[in-house]
Amino acid sequence: MNGVRLQPTSTAVHRGWRRTLGELPSALLFLLPTVAVLGTFNFYPALYSLYLSLFEWNGLSPHREFVGLANYTRLLASGEFWNSLRVTLLYAGGVTLLALALGLLVAVLLNQPIRGQALYRVLYFLPVITPTVASGVVWKYLFDPTQGVVNRGLAEVGLEGPSWLSDPSWALVAVIVVGVWKRVGFNMVVYLAALQGIPKTYYEAAQLDGADSWQQFRHITLPLLAPTTFFLVVTALIDAFQVFDLVYVMTSGGPLGSTDVLGYYLYRQGFRYSELGFASAVAYVMFALIFLVTVIQFRLTRGGQDDA
């Protein structure tokens, strides 16, 4: 494992020990603000929510009933939860894969010496920094069945677009489109940086051997981008698993639960139905899922280190 490399040798530890000890008070002092802030606003609420997940409580009642793991068993028995999980996996998978492919495509294209390269980069990156809520509202207009640009465009080419956000079979597609649109720019920028880090000599050598541009892409670019791809997949999946604002603005989880991602499901339980214990259980199941996905990916790709 590559982790071994990071471990200092035992002599280094020995030599540094005394100095480290002497610096301990000031180190702690410097860490204190961060630890205090993280402790108050991250760790304490996270642990408290784990504790709450064992209770039935509506957030207002003076009475909290300890129910043990009942919230978790109820969750696993709930059809709505499994629907949410399915929707979340579809969303996360769709956004991650499409944004990855498109991000790579755009990065490769923008890596060519073309005019207005900087402008294109800005344009592709703009959606990333546009607030999600604003994007959601605008896309909602674009997806309007009669007035929206999307269906008007489709009508131009003789297609009748669906009633996007009102149609249970199309609403998730529409939300995924916006998710991809917001993600591509980020993937593009990271890929672009990685592309520029690949030494030109590799390509020159391959050209001497007679490799065409597809072969160069397949056997040089892709493998050397593997660590970047791994990083992008992990971050995109974690990001997509937690999607909430986009769904909140565009569909409120509807129609008929077709866009009811876990983040929105949690919000409904906690803040619309005032089921704080149950919502905490949802949050911990989400945490476990994201953790699991990350571990699996790490195992599969060995951290993206030596994928050939």
Partner 1 sequence: MKASWLKAIVITTVVLLGLSMAQKLTFWHYWDGANGQVLQGLIERYQKEHPGVTIEAVFVPGGELLTKLQTAITAKQTPIMAISDLVAMPLLTQSGSLAPLDDFIRQSNLNLADYFPGPLVYGMYQGKRYSLPVSASDLGLFWNKNLFRQAGLDPNRPPRNWDELLRYAKQIKEKTGKWGIELFTQGGEGTTWQTQVYFWGAGAEFLNANNTAPAFNSPQGVRALQFLVDLAQKDKVAPIAPWGLFGRGEAAMVMDGSWMTQFFPQQVNFELGSAPFPYPAGGRPATNMGGEQIFIFQNADAATAKAAWDFINWFSSTPVQVEWDRGTGFLPVRRSVANDPAYRAWVSNARPLMRPFVDSMAFARPRPPVARYPQISDIFAKYVQEALLGRLSPKDALERAAQEVAPLLR
Nearer to partner 1, 227 or 257 (CB): 257
Cβ at position 257, least distance to partner 1 in Å:
7
- Burial letters for 112-129: b for 16+ Cβ neighbours within 10 Å, e otherwise? eeeeeeeeebeebeebee
Nearer to partner 1, 45 or 197 (CB): 45
Cα 110 to Cα 19: distance, rounded to the nearest angstrom: 49
Tokens found for residue 223: 């493998």
Residue 296: how many other CB atoms lie within 10 Å: 10
Q: Could you tell me the end-to-end alpha-carbon distance of the chain, in angstroms, rounded to an integer?
A: 17
Cβ at position 83, least distance to partner 1 in Å:
11
Nearer to partner 1, 130 or 274 (CB): 274
Nearer to partner 1, 272 or 302 (CB): 272
Nearer to partner 1, 58 or 207 (CB): 58
Nearer to partner 1, 152 or 272 (CB): 272
Cβ at position 135, least distance to partner 1 in Å:
17
Cβ at position 256, least distance to partner 1 in Å:
6
Contact 185, 126 (CB under 8 A): yes
Cβ at position 151, least distance to partner 1 in Å:
11
Contact 187, 104 (CB under 8 A): yes
Nearer to partner 1, 86 or 218 (CB): 86
CA distances to 9, 135, 137, 156, 172 from 175, in Å:
51, 11, 12, 23, 5
| C-alpha closest to that of 177 among 143, 148, 144 | 143
Tokens found for residue 192: 């672009």
Distance of CA 55 to the CA centre of its chain: 30
Cα 141 to Cα 178: distance, rounded to the nearest angstrom: 12
Cα 106 to Cα 65: distance, rounded to the nearest angstrom: 54
Cβ at position 197, least distance to partner 1 in Å:
46
Residues that bind partner 1 (CB under 8 A): 58-62, 140, 144-147, 163, 165-166, 168, 252, 254-257, 268, 271-274
Cβ at position 162, least distance to partner 1 in Å:
11
Cβ at position 239, least distance to partner 1 in Å:
25
- The torsion region of residue 116 among left (phi > 0), alpha (psi -120 to 50) and beta comes to left
